[in-house]
A and B are shown apart, each in its own frame.
Chain A
Amino acid sequence: MILSSKEKGHTMKFITIDKKDWAKGIENSRKAYQLFGPVKEKNGVLIKNLEKGVLPLMEYTDSVMSAKSVMFPQSEMILKTTLDESKEDHHIMKRVDTNYSPRAVVGMRPFDAKAIQLVKMNFDTKDFRDPYWCDAYEATTFVGLAVNKPGLYDFSTSAGSGPFGEDGLDVLLADMDDKYVAKILSDKGQDFIDIFAVGTSSDEKESQVLFDVLRKEAEKNIASAIETDKLKDKTILYLHEAPFWDDVAFSCINCGTCTYVCPTCWCFDIQDETKRKASTRFRNWDTCMSSLFTSHASGHNPRDAKTQRVRQRFMHKLKYFPDKYEEGIMCVGCGRCVKSCPVNIDIRKVAKTMNSYENKE
Chain B
Amino acid sequence: MNTCTKRIREIASALLEKKEVEKVIGFATGTIPMASNPIVVTSKQDVEKLVFNSTCGLNLANYIRNHKGKIAVIAKGCDARNIVTHVIENQADREKLHIIGVPCSGMIDKNKVASLFKDDIVEFIEDGDTATIKSATKEETINKKDYLRHNCSLCTHKNPVIYDDLACDEGEEQSLEIPYPDVDAIQSLDANAKWQHFQELTKNCIRCYSCRNARPLCYCPTCFVDEAGPQWVGKGQDETDVNTFHFLRAFHCAGRCTDCGACVEACPMDINVRDFTRKLNKDSFELFGWEAGLDTTRRPPLDSYSPDDPNDFIK
The listed residue (A255, A273, A340) touching B213 by CB distance below 8 A is: A255
Binary interface encoding of chain B residues 13-52 relative to chain A, with 1 for a CB under 8 A from any of its CBs, else 0: 0000000000000000011110111111000000000000
Q: Are A342 and B266 in contact (CB under 8 A)?
A: yes
- Write the B206-226 contact mask toward A (1 if CB under 8 angstroms, else 0): 111110111000000000001
CB-defined interface of A291-316 with B at 8 Å, one 1/0 digit per residue? 11001000000000000000000000
Nearest CB in chain A: distance from B209 CB, A: 5
Interface residue stretch chosen among B179-187, B232-240, B300-308: B232-240
Known: A44-B270, A257-B208. A152 touches B120 (CB 8 A): yes
Cβ contact within 8 Å between A292 and B238? no
What is the interface of chain B mostly: helix, strand, loop, or mixed?
Answer: loop
Bound CA span A342–B214, Å:
8
Is B118 in the interface zone, CB < 8 Å from A?
A: yes
**Mask: chain A, 243-280; 1 = CB below 8 Å from B; 0 = not:** 00001001101111100110000000101010000000
| Interface flag for A85 (CB, 8 Å) | no
In the complex, the answer to whether B37 meets A344 with C-beta atoms within 8 Å is yes
B58 adjacent to chain A (CB < 8 Å): yes
Q: Does A17 contact B (CB under 8 A)?
A: no
A344, B31: Cβ atoms under 8 Å? yes
Tally of A-B Cβ pairs under 8 angstroms: 116
A residues less than 8 Å from B213 (CB atoms): 253-255
On whether the beta carbons of B208 and A292 are closer than 8 Å, the reply is no
Q: Is the CB of A74 within 8 A of B206?
A: yes
- Taken residue by residue from 189 to 217, chain B's Cβ proximity to chain A (1 for < 8 Å, 0 otherwise) reads as 00000000000000110111110111000
Contact A346 B236 (CB under 8 A): no
A169 and B234 CA atoms in complex are apart in Å by 35
Most chain B CB inside 10 Å of its own CB: which residue of A42, A46, A65, A251: A251
* Chain A contacts for B268, CB-based, 8 A: 64, 257, 260-261, 340, 342
Which of B31, B226, B267 is the one whose CB lies under 8 Å from A348?
B31
Q: Tell me whether A295 and B228 are in contact in the complex, defined as CB-CB below 8 angstroms, given that A46-B204, A344-B37 are known contacts.
A: yes
How far apart are the CA atoms of A107 and B208 in the complex, in Å? 26
- Determine whether the beta carbon of B119 is less than 8 Å from that of A338: no
Contact with B along A323-361 (1 / 0, CB 8 A): 000000000000000111011111011000000000000
Interface size class of B (residues with CB under 8 A): 35 or more
Of A149, A251, A256, A284, the residue contacting B37 (CB under 8 A) is A251
Closest to B37 in A: A344
B121 contacts the other chain (CB 8 A): yes
Q: What's the minimum C-beta distance from B201 to chain A, rounded to whole angstroms?
A: 9
Q: Which of A61, A253, A254 has the most CB of B within 10 A?
A: A253
Question: Closest residue of chain A to B121, judged by CB?
Answer: A152
Interface string of A44-62 (1 = CB under 8 A from B): 1010000000000000011
CB-contact partner of B207 in A46, A153, A250, A256, under 8 A: A256
Q: Tell me which residues across on chain A come within 8 A of B237, comparing CB atoms.
A: 74-75, 284
B204 touches A282 (CB 8 A): no
Residues of A within 8 A of B207 (CB): 256
Contact A153 B120 (CB under 8 A): yes
Complex-state Cα separation, A75 to B235, whole angstroms: 9
B269 and A44 within 8 A (CB): yes
Contact between A343 and B37, CB atoms less than 8 A apart: yes
Task: Give chain B residues whose Cβ lies under 8 Å from the Cβ of A255.
Answer: 208-210, 212-214, 266
20 contacts between A and B (CB under 8 A): A41-B204, A43-B203, A43-B269, A61-B118, A153-B32, A253-B210, A255-B209, A255-B214, A256-B209, A257-B208, A260-B208, A261-B268, A290-B209, A292-B226, A295-B228, A342-B210, A342-B265, A342-B268, A344-B30, A344-B37
- A-binding residues in B (CB < 8 A): 30-33, 35-40, 58, 62-63, 118-122, 136, 203-204, 206-210, 212-214, 226, 228, 234-238, 265-271
